[in-house]
Amino acid sequence: MIIVMQRGASKKEIGDVMREIEGMGYRTHPIYGVERTVIGAIGDERGKARLQKFETSPGVERVIPILKPYKLAGRELRKEKTGIAVGGNAVFGTGTVPVIAGPCSVESLEQVCSTAEAVKAAGATLLRGGAYKPRTSPYAFQGLEEEGLKMLAEARTRTGLPVVTELMKESVLDLVVAYTDVIQIGARNMQNFDLLKAVGQVQKPVLLKRGLASTINEWLMSAEYIMAQGNMNVILCERGIRTFETATRNTLDLSAVPVLKHETHLPVVVDPSHGTGHWEYVEDMALAAIVGGADGLMIEVHPNPHEAWSDGSQSLTFERFATLMQKARRVAEAVGRKV
Amino acid sequence: MIIVMQRGASKKEIGDVMREIEGMGYRTHPIYGVERTVIGAIGDERGKARLQKFETSPGVERVIPILKPYKLAGRELRKEKTGIAVGGNAVFGTGTVPVIAGPCSVESLEQVCSTAEAVKAAGATLLRGGAYKPRTSPYAFQGLEEEGLKMLAEARTRTGLPVVTELMKESVLDLVVAYTDVIQIGARNMQNFDLLKAVGQVQKPVLLKRGLASTINEWLMSAEYIMAQGNMNVILCERGIRTFETATRNTLDLSAVPVLKHETHLPVVVDPSHGTGHWEYVEDMALAAIVGGADGLMIEVHPNPHEAWSDGSQSLTFERFATLMQKARRVAEAVGRKV
Amino acid sequence: MIIVMQRGASKKEIGDVMREIEGMGYRTHPIYGVERTVIGAIGDERGKARLQKFETSPGVERVIPILKPYKLAGRELRKEKTGIAVGGNAVFGTGTVPVIAGPCSVESLEQVCSTAEAVKAAGATLLRGGAYKPRTSPYAFQGLEEEGLKMLAEARTRTGLPVVTELMKESVLDLVVAYTDVIQIGARNMQNFDLLKAVGQVQKPVLLKRGLASTINEWLMSAEYIMAQGNMNVILCERGIRTFETATRNTLDLSAVPVLKHETHLPVVVDPSHGTGHWEYVEDMALAAIVGGADGLMIEVHPNPHEAWSDGSQSLTFERFATLMQKARRVAEAVGRKV
Amino acid sequence: MIIVMQRGASKKEIGDVMREIEGMGYRTHPIYGVERTVIGAIGDERGKARLQKFETSPGVERVIPILKPYKLAGRELRKEKTGIAVGGNAVFGTGTVPVIAGPCSVESLEQVCSTAEAVKAAGATLLRGGAYKPRTSPYAFQGLEEEGLKMLAEARTRTGLPVVTELMKESVLDLVVAYTDVIQIGARNMQNFDLLKAVGQVQKPVLLKRGLASTINEWLMSAEYIMAQGNMNVILCERGIRTFETATRNTLDLSAVPVLKHETHLPVVVDPSHGTGHWEYVEDMALAAIVGGADGLMIEVHPNPHEAWSDGSQSLTFERFATLMQKARRVAEAVGRKV
């Protein structure tokens, strides 16, 4: 940690800060510049958030952390990428690009099974579907709950596709674990720290969506919450951030993919359906994501988007999804990968 | 709801959309313009999110909702402001400006009681203090939990100040209800819809903080979640939104106050401590909030900010808080209000 | 245009608004809903910004424009894509993906010519280089000005590559026109309307960069400024927008590409160098842009980024650029295009 | 400047960086930490943007500037606040709160003179009015230009109020200087650096509006551009920034006021008309700005907002402005200031 003293800080102020840092078990290293003094505090600053306390010391201008705040999620202590296998045929993080596809909400057995069959035929290797739905309005459809989980499990039985579904509250964690293969933590719960701790205590893979206004740093800290509890199987999912632009539902931050490849060993999946909010833009962004380095895709598909109970405008039909998958295979091949 | 057809939409497309709208129980009213046709759908569109489905109909360009999506929180059905009384001496929403003050985290009985006494002496009418703490890092102090709740209750016994504390998970709702007077829902949980439903089922007042990237509309929808369950005692709290500016921790959106006065009958409190993140800016923004129409303030105060376990850099000392309160009284008087 | 009256607007208020609209030459068409009255104003609302005046009429809640505000730039009046040829070998907007490459700033004849030769050898078809530099600090290098333009022209003579350079003020428009082939309008000047009018009066192609906080709609309105003066040769350039994320210099909004394909017939180029700000991320985003539909790329290349006078950290070396171009060819082929 | 080496940077990499820093005339000061080495570069880093070059050196993780990039605008070299007098009766920056009021656009002599008289009667001390208008659409009213300047000058003659008007291009600088008292640089031109240099070479006070997506740091750097040319009379004007919130036209960043008081000696004015975009919210935010420390206000006033040629929905009537001024006086008095 670097402590920058104010221009004109007194010798006493500098001495006081140094003595206090040393009292906390760090070594200090002052640099006396032309205009300012800067003090290096040597030692592991992580887990010692209280070094920030020097922001309130007389004569201090600012405190700059040097070490990355995440350990388990970071690339410094674990250089090689983490591969996360789900079911028998999908591995995230090792060169292939598994595709998770399915409806926004589970609406009926028929709907989810027909979708599962169609996306499997087109080449998807996992099924998505929401049984618990986070909706902005309390008057909107809130999901079929356990009934929906059962339908997902049945679709898995029929097609062999592992299932990804969202968990919104700890009280149904056991249920979700029992019926499904990957636990999704939605964007709105990315900093629901108790929920993160709870999924950290099971061994199912967790698909952790980025919060609407979360920095990459905060996102990795949320992964760290899960990993610190013992569950190392975290898959990150970029799904767009909130900006001033309204032409798309969110702004898909595709450059987060190469940043994450640099910062973390965890795999990262891209969801262009939520990222754009309009089916017309999904294909272009899905292909771009593969080429940009994504370790997987998550795509909303519905037998009849016009009749979908939620997110119809961003869902692909079976035909459009099949076309996308054909293109995806060609594009992946061009960069030496495989969908 | 207004459905705008694309330029060049065919007669058949227009007819199909109209028939489908009518089939859903609305009356239709087309306007044939020079370039485009626009169709009005007459009927209560709330609770019928599926009207958005027309976004995927052939020939449709966009769908524009006309009615406000919130009913209980809105000003249309309830014109007069809601007053929410807490304890015997604080009422939010009726001209006075109650001040909630206290430490970010409860650290010890001594710390919370001395703070309670100091802020009471200075004129605060409620005590705040966190027993469950949402921290970005899993390695940071997470709160004293039930021990902290007991300390808050003891401080209330000694000073008579009602207590506000944050709830992060449903499993401790009963505890929090038992020990405190106002349940705070933090910014990161503003769209934790299950938690909102849970606090909607008790009758304690809820202080609902605005999410970091939440629009005023979404914020009111979260209030609506609580109210739809039967708890009408919702106090909104503006605490800054996330923007590109980094000179402050967040950007305090003070203009949300007059917007909310226009849109809702619920009281709105301003938290300049989180809004700015620096104690140096708290006083100016606190005074500005009073004059700008806030129904209350929430201020972080600590016996020794330099030693605070969290948020020290945005906490006021007892002396600074007392000075602020003196100024607050003068400023409130100038606009015919009372702190 | 649709005028939404407030709940409870009086008959007189509704009548007054209708009469006033009709007095402005529109036909009116009221829809009397259950809660609200909505009035359609039929007629061409463009160029009549004053219809917004109804926002201040008694009883009016809001005014919703229906028509797109851009005519010349929009896809409604011109369905086919515009192809813009520059020099003999580059055409933007017709399936090929021309690549503009070169240094941020022109620093010397040697620097710009060696770069021109290297990028040409690697497959670039246009040369970029700044002679007038918009720098945040007045103390930073401001560009070689006319001297720089001459160096660019010399590099063109030697390599045959057409030249793109930024124009910051009308007073050097003639100079820039004389020496170069494409006039770049930088992000900071996207709403410098007088400069837009000035470049609208010459016939050189204009590369119009998106403003840091400009919506796609505003961007197209700035294109409209240029086109309304007679210059139809506008190439749009997405270069990242400002968001809360700081891991990248800007947030590259790649989904703007498919949105623009939908909204405008103008070609759109992507600049991943400014979009990300770090050379490590440029290749991934450049490839993603091609697959995502971009009509061209703009890439910063420098003989020795470490010694660059500006933007070194986002510049590619010759070798890295050559590698990128090889991959770009493969990727473009996979989507039936050609770099 | 602090250079943070990567974890695992080699001795050679560290040595190379140190030798190169020393070769540029700085002293180096390495700190060998547990995980990383950090190198301090001692010397004046301003005007030496090229120290950033170390971002591309092998083994370097990041480069952290320590000194503030602005000198003339900063509070470090000039502690006392700058007072800027305009005309005989308005001084910005010395405790009083001058109010600039008038129409968005100059529309007619009658309009501007009647407004000048009304705002003067209510207590305003400067007149605003746009003769050159930056409009998003090329089809919207673009201002009366020189004719408008003459009308402003005539209004000044009749009322004695000094005049503030916007300059959009250097070619009319002399005209604007001749007719008016304060040159306004609009938000869209905050980083039109050539225009900043031009107004830096005259001695008229400049009202520098904050860009829609400009950080406070960038804003001060734009002030520095003007001051570096010799014109020290810069008045900053906060007018709202662009965020995701759409309930207001912009998000008025009132906390910028105390931040600026801390960072600069220049006065800062607040414009709640553009900040909110709705006249209903102007009064609350104007009063809040005074209490929050603003050195002045800028308010749009129109004889008949409903008929205004631009920005009618955010303009106050004469009556509402007079009411605001009465309240403003009371509120200012409560904080020991004077409107």
- pLDDT tens digits for B242-263? 999 999 999 999 999 999 999 9
Q: Which of A163-172, A256-265, C35-44, D221-230 has the lowest mean pLDDT?
A: C35-44
Q: Name the residue facing D244 among A7, A43, A242 (closest C-beta).
A: A242
- The CA distances from residue D59 to A265, D15, D99, in Å, are 20, 10, 55
Helices D216-228 and D193-200: angle between axes, nearest 10 degrees: 40
- pLDDT for A44 equals 67
Let me know whether A100 and A202 are in one domain. yes
* Domain annotation covers residue D18: yes
pTM over 0.80: yes
Look at residue A272 and give its three-state secondary structure: helix
Neighboring chain B residues of D284 at a CB cutoff of 8 Å: 255, 257-258, 291-293
* Domain annotation covers residue C73: no
Which of B1, B36, B244, B248 is best to mutate for the C interface (most C CBs within 10 A)? B244
Contact between A31 and D36 using a beta-carbon 8 Å cutoff: no
* Domain annotation covers residue B112: yes
Overall average pLDDT of the A204-223 stretch: 97
Q: Give the confidence band of C46 by pLDDT, cuts at 50, 70, 90.
A: low
Q: How far apart are CA B300 and CA B272, in angstroms?
A: 9
Q: Name the residue facing B247 among D216, D245, D281 (closest C-beta).
A: D216
For residue B240, with 0-12 CB atoms within 10 Å meaning exposed, 13-18 middle and 19 or more buried, which class applies?
buried
Let me know whether B181 and B304 are in one domain. yes
Q: Which chain A residue has its CA at the smallest distance from B139's CA?
A: A47
Q: Give the confidence band of D148 by pLDDT, cuts at 50, 70, 90.
A: very high
Neighboring chain A residues of B197 at a CB cutoff of 8 Å: 138
First-to-last CA distance in chain D? 43
- pLDDT for D49 equals 52
Q: Name the residue facing A224 among B55, B56, B138 (closest C-beta).
A: B138
Neighboring chain D residues of A35 at a CB cutoff of 8 Å: 44, 67, 76
Q: What is the largest CA-CA distance in chain A?
A: 76
Q: Which of A45-54, C33-42, C119-128 has the lowest mean pLDDT?
A: A45-54
Q: Which chain D residue has its CA at the smallest distance from A241's CA?
A: D244
Q: How far apart are CA C181 and CA C86, in angstroms?
A: 7
* pLDDT per residue as tens digits for the range D43-65: 766 555 567 788 888 899 888 88
Contact between B247 and D254 using a beta-carbon 8 Å cutoff: no
Contact between B138 and A305 using a beta-carbon 8 Å cutoff: no
Interface contacts (A, D; CB < 8 Å): 54
Let me know whether C300 and C256 are in one domain. yes
For residue D323, give every residue at least 6 positions away whose Cβ sits within 8 Å of its Cβ, in sequence order, or none: D283
Closest CA to A260 of A298, A225, A215: A215
Other C-beta atoms closer than 10 Å to the C-beta of D108 total 15
* Domain annotation covers residue C186: yes
Q: Which chain A residue has its CA at the smallest distance from D263's CA?
A: A61
SS3 content of chain D, % helix, strand, coil (to 5): 40, 20, 40
ipTM score above 0.90: yes
Neighboring chain A residues of B47 at a CB cutoff of 8 Å: 137, 139-140
* Domain annotation covers residue B312: yes
Question: What residues of chain B score a pLDDT lower than 50?
Answer: none
Which of A1, A21, A244, A262 is best to mutate for the D interface (most D CBs within 10 A)? A244
Which of B21, B28, B31 is best to mutate for the C interface (most C CBs within 10 A)? B31
D313 or D88: which leads in pLDDT: D313
Neighboring chain D residues of B75 at a CB cutoff of 8 Å: none
Let me know whether A219 and A262 are in one domain. yes
- pLDDT for A307 equals 87
Contact between C136 and D191 using a beta-carbon 8 Å cutoff: yes
* Domain annotation covers residue C78: no
Q: What is the largest CA-CA distance in chain C?
A: 76
Neighboring chain C residues of D307 at a CB cutoff of 8 Å: 53
Let me know whether C227 and C322 are in one domain. yes
Q: Which chain B residue has its CA at the smallest distance from A133's CA?
A: B193
Let me know whether B268 and B122 are in one domain. yes
Q: Name the residue facing D194 among C47, C69, C169 (closest C-beta).
A: C169
CATH number at residue B269: 3.20.20.70
Cα-flanking dihedrals φ and ψ of residue D314, to 5°?
-110, 10
Contact between A67 and D2 using a beta-carbon 8 Å cutoff: no
Let me know whether B217 and B268 are in one domain. yes
- The CA distances from residue C92 to A149, C28, C296, C301, C333, in Å, are 50, 44, 7, 21, 17
Neighboring chain C residues of A260 at a CB cutoff of 8 Å: none
Neighboring chain B residues of C29 at a CB cutoff of 8 Å: 31
Contact between D40 and A34 using a beta-carbon 8 Å cutoff: no
Q: Name the residue facing C292 among A215, A287, A334 (closest C-beta).
A: A287
Neighboring chain B residues of C66 at a CB cutoff of 8 Å: 4, 33, 36, 38
- pLDDT for D286 equals 98
- State the nearest Cα–Cα gap between D329 and chain A, in angstroms: 36
Contact between C244 and A215 using a beta-carbon 8 Å cutoff: yes
The length of chain C, given as a count of residues:
339
* Domain annotation covers residue A73: no
Let me know whether C109 and C216 are in one domain. yes
Q: Give the confidence band of D98 by pLDDT, cuts at 50, 70, 90.
A: very high
Which of B48, B63, B66, B67 is best to mutate for the C interface (most C CBs within 10 A)? B66
Mean model confidence pLDDT for chain A: 93
Contact between C254 and A285 using a beta-carbon 8 Å cutoff: yes
D262 or D87: which leads in pLDDT: D262
Q: Which of A185-194, B103-112, D25-34 has the lowest mean pLDDT?
A: D25-34
Cross-strand bridge partners of residue B37: B32
Chains with at least 3 CB pairs less than 8 angstroms from chain D: A, B, C
Interface contacts (B, D; CB < 8 Å): 127
Provide the token pair at A292. 């940009």
- pLDDT for A76 equals 79
Let me know whether A145 and A284 are in one domain. yes
List alpha helices for chain A, DSSP H.
Answer: 11-23, 109-122, 146-159, 173-179, 193-200, 216-228, 256-263, 272-276, 279-292, 318-334
The number of angstroms, rounded, from the C-alpha of A29 to the middle of its chain's C-alpha atoms is 38
Neighboring chain D residues of B316 at a CB cutoff of 8 Å: none
Helices A256-263 and A279-292: angle between axes, nearest 10 degrees: 30
DSSP conformation letters of C249-307: SSB--TTHHHHHHHHBSS-EEE-HHHHHSSHHHHHHHHHHHHHTT-SEEEEEB-S-GGG
Q: Which domain holds residue C286?
A: 84-334
Neighboring chain C residues of A275 at a CB cutoff of 8 Å: 255
Neighboring chain D residues of C55 at a CB cutoff of 8 Å: 312-313
State how many domains chain D has: 2
Contact between B312 and A53 using a beta-carbon 8 Å cutoff: yes
Neighboring chain D residues of B219 at a CB cutoff of 8 Å: none
The number of angstroms, rounded, from the C-alpha of D103 to the middle of its chain's C-alpha atoms is 19
Let me know whether B116 and B262 are in one domain. yes
Let me know whether D259 and D296 are in one domain. yes
E strands present in B202-310: 206-209, 234-238, 268-270, 296-300
Q: How far apart are CA D242 and CA D253, in angstroms?
A: 10
Q: Which chain C residue has its CA at the smallest distance from A251's CA?
A: C253
Q: Give the confidence band of A266 by pLDDT, cuts at 50, 70, 90.
A: very high
Q: Does the pLDDT at position A53 exceed 70?
A: yes
Closest CA to C81 of C256, C328, C260: C260
Contact between C312 and D169 using a beta-carbon 8 Å cutoff: no
Identify whether the C-beta of residue B17 lies closer than 8 Å to the C-beta of residue B60.
yes
Overall average pLDDT of the D232-261 stretch: 97
Contact between D42 and A29 using a beta-carbon 8 Å cutoff: no
Q: Does the pLDDT at position C45 exceed 80?
A: no
Q: Give the confidence band of A41 by pLDDT, cuts at 50, 70, 90.
A: confident
Q: Which chain A residue has its CA at the smallest distance from B142's CA?
A: A193
- pLDDT for C270 equals 98
For residue C307, give every residue at least 6 positions away whose Cβ sits within 8 Å of its Cβ, in sequence order, or none: D53
* Domain annotation covers residue B78: no
Contact between C33 and B246 using a beta-carbon 8 Å cutoff: no
Let me know whether D18 and D107 are in one domain. no
Percent of chain C scoring above 90 in pLDDT: 75
Q: Give the confidence band of A231 by pLDDT, cuts at 50, 70, 90.
A: very high
